[in-house]
Structure 1
């Protein structure tokens, strides 16, 4: 049973639903589209299966997520965000921007490019919604794709559902350098650290629109 602050304050009520450990990280994973139970367990190292089941049930009861069925490659059960869950995107964007201002984490921490893609997607400006090139990212052993439809940006794990307009292939260090604006696309291509399958202009525009938040800006006021 989840604990409650037993206060009428809206912030306290929100934390009654979202404040338990791991809860918002489950929401973070579902930003990348519907996920199977096993996918969530794999993406949240250190979280036990019984605790994941408890958190999923809790979020389902509060209309943050719902069960769905993935049609491909076979019909399997999965979880996805509801409209109430999608409404948390500005909250996660604020946390990503605030967290970017913290000191660098220890090298022993688990690191996944997908988590940076979530931050890039959440903190992108409205202009990013008009970037309509289906883009596949191959970062080390991880593959993700993004697509915009003039209203919102969709990001999911795995290969693009159809042949992408733009395919970017690089290692993690290069990807982070590009996402932080520390290296230009042309220089990364020239050095062989980035392979661009598609229009070079589209690759440049991608990293202009999608980049990691600047923690100094996020925390200065």
Structure 2
């Protein structure tokens, strides 16, 4: 890397690789899915083209990112290497830590609903539901899906499968429900539910009770 803290410390060396501005947000985008350069540029919202090029080059040199052929056509897509994908755990820990900062809403900041894929996965880590269901979450015109099973909750962009229910709400409400800071009963008039309301109750209320138990 071009800059180094020059310290023989695991945190310092990790920050040598991913501590520069935009690096972890590039990783966030690639945790959602491999992406072409233009998709990264659009998804990051605000990064300069020359800076993105530099950051991708640095991350590739460090072994965090690799280039591969996109699934369609001959375009190049960027993806995380297996080592780069191990950044999911510290990134998800930071997302959980950020909950108090997120509850006040965007406050004029840029927001892309796809970013919730990483955030919701982080907030549901270690949680499970006895009620198997696939619930859609619609925010700002984008549809995500939460697939709940006894082994955990998987979060992704909607892949076209049938949904048991769809929840429509503002991003901060969805995050509050997922973090266990809000219950559905707290959000009357702020959340619209279509379909199986019991599936939504089982997903979010079970998560809330698990969260509350872990805080004791």
TM superposition score normalised by structure 1: 0.74
- Give, in whole Å, the separation in 1 of the partners of 2:54 and 2:142: 28
Counterpart of 2:200 in structure 1 is 203
Report the aligned-residue RMSD. 3.5
Match of 1:170 among 168, 179, 184: 168
Distance 1:167 1:68 in 2: 36
- Map 1:56-205 onto structure 2 (within 5 A): 56-71=56-71, 76-102=75-101, 104=104, 107-128=107-128, 133-147=133-147, 154-157=154-157, 160-172=158-170, 174-176=173-175, 178-179=177-178, 181-184=181-184, 188=188, 191=189, 193-197=191-195, 199-205=196-202
| CA deviation after TM superposition for structure 1 residue 75, in Å | 5.7
| Structure 1: gaps (5+ residues) | none
The equivalent of 1:15 in structure 2 is 15
Residue 129 of structure 1: how far off its partner (Å): 8.8
* Cα distance, 1:75–1:194 mapped onto 2, change above 3 Å: farther
1:186, 1:75 → 2: CA distance?
49
Q: C-alpha displacement at 1:175, in angstroms?
A: 3.2
Distance, in Å, in 1 between the alignment partners of 2:129 and 2:2 is 37
Alignment of structure 1 residues 6-45 onto 2, 5 Å: 6-45=6-45
- Count the aligned residue pairs: 208
Partner secondary structure for residue 166 of structure 2:
strand
In structure 1, C-alpha distance between the alignment counterparts of 2:71 and 2:118, rounded to whole Å: 24
Cα distance in 1 for partners of 2:41, 2:69 equals 18
Q: Which aligned runs of 4 or more in structure 1 are off by greater than 6 angstroms?
A: 148-152
- In the alignment, structure 2 segments of 5+ residues that lack a partner are none
- Residue of structure 1 in register with 2:48 after alignment: 48
Contact kept in structure 2, 1:170 and 1:194, CA below 8 Å: yes
